[in-house]
């Protein structure tokens, strides 16, 4: 059985609405005979075959899985930085809370214990990771876990504090909505 056929069978068994993003490390145990380079080539062939869609470097979407529209960037961010404390903040958190008037389309802002980076996700959008030195223990009560997104989310006061700390413009903030949310 070819590697591509085995991969197709695995994805048919594993992929669902909760598990639709995969990386080589996720499936490497199923292909112990493949080197890292061979596994990357297998994923590249799966993209060419239409089985997978490349989301960003090292992350692939299973086209056959029923993936939740509008949440892909959140789930990708969670998966990309699973080993680091991250939380949705800045414009993304404020937009979701109705505090800023413009909705950042296809752009997700995440405060991260990891390094700052913009991750291009093709037609899906961009994930902006902004480094923070804030420790999770000091944010207790100021972040909450958003199970729908699979990430922590900043409260409105914390998101505003992050906006100021990152020197982001506050001209889109609806201050009357801020007062109502507190």
Q: Exposure pattern of 37-51 as b/e (b: 16+ CB <10 Å)?
A: eebeebbeebeeeeb
Nearest CA to 46 out of 29, 23, 67 is that of 23
- pLDDT, residue 176, reads 83
pLDDT in tens, 63-104: 989 988 889 999 999 999 999 999 999 999 999 999 997 777
- pLDDT, residue 1, reads 56
Which of 8-12, 19-23, 87-91, 174-178 has the lowest average pLDDT?
Answer: 174-178
- pLDDT, residue 133, reads 94
pLDDT in tens, 104-161: 789 999 999 999 999 999 999 999 999 999 999 999 999 999 999 999 999 999 999 9
- Domain ranges, ordered by start, for the chain: 3-62, 72-181
Local confidence band at 24 (pLDDT 50, 70, 90 cut-offs): confident
> What are the CA-CA distances from residue 103 to residues 57, 110, 112, 133 (Å)?
26, 15, 21, 27
Q: 3-62: what fold?
A: Arc Repressor Mutant, subunit A (1.10.10)
Q: How far is it, in rounded angstroms, from Cα 167 to Cα 182?
A: 22
What pTM does this model have? 0.90
Could you give the 3-state DSSP secondary structure of residue 84?
coil
Paired sense of beta strands 126-131 and 107-112, if any:
parallel
Strands (E), the chain: 21-22, 52-56, 59-62, 86-88, 107-112, 117-120, 126-131, 143-146, 151-154
Q: How far is it, in rounded angstroms, from Cα 99 to Cα 160?
A: 10
Please list the helix, strand and coil fractions of the chain in percent, rounded to the nearest 5, in that order. 40, 25, 35
Q: Mean per-residue pLDDT for 31-49?
A: 91
Radius of gyration in angstroms for the set of CA atoms belonging to the chain, rounded to a whole number = 19
Helix axes 3-14, 36-49, angle to 10 degrees: 70
């Amino acid at each position: 059985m070819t590697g591509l056929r085995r991969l197709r069978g695995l994805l048919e068994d594993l992929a669902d609405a909760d598990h639709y993003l995969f990386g080589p490390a996720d499936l490497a145990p199923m292909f112990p005979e493949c080197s890292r380079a061979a596994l990357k080539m297998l994923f590249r062939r799966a993209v060419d075959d239409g089985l997978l869609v490349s989301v960003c470097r090292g992350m692939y979407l299973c086209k056959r899985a029923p993936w939740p529209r509008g949440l892909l960037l959140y789930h990708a961010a969670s998966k990309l930085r699973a080993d680091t404390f991250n939380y949705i903040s800045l414009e993304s958190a404020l937009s979701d809370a109705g505090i800023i008037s413009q909705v950042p389309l296809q752009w997700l802002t995440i405060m991260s214990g990891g390094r700052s980076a913009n991750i291009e996700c093709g037609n899906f959008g961009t994930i902006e990771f902004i480094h923070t030195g804030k420790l999770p223990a000091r944010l207790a009560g100021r972040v909450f876990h958003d199970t729908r997104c699979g990430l922590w989310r900043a409260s409105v006061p914390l998101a505003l504090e992050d906006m100021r700390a990152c020197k982001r413009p506050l001209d889109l903030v609806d201050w009357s909505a801020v007062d109502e949310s507190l």
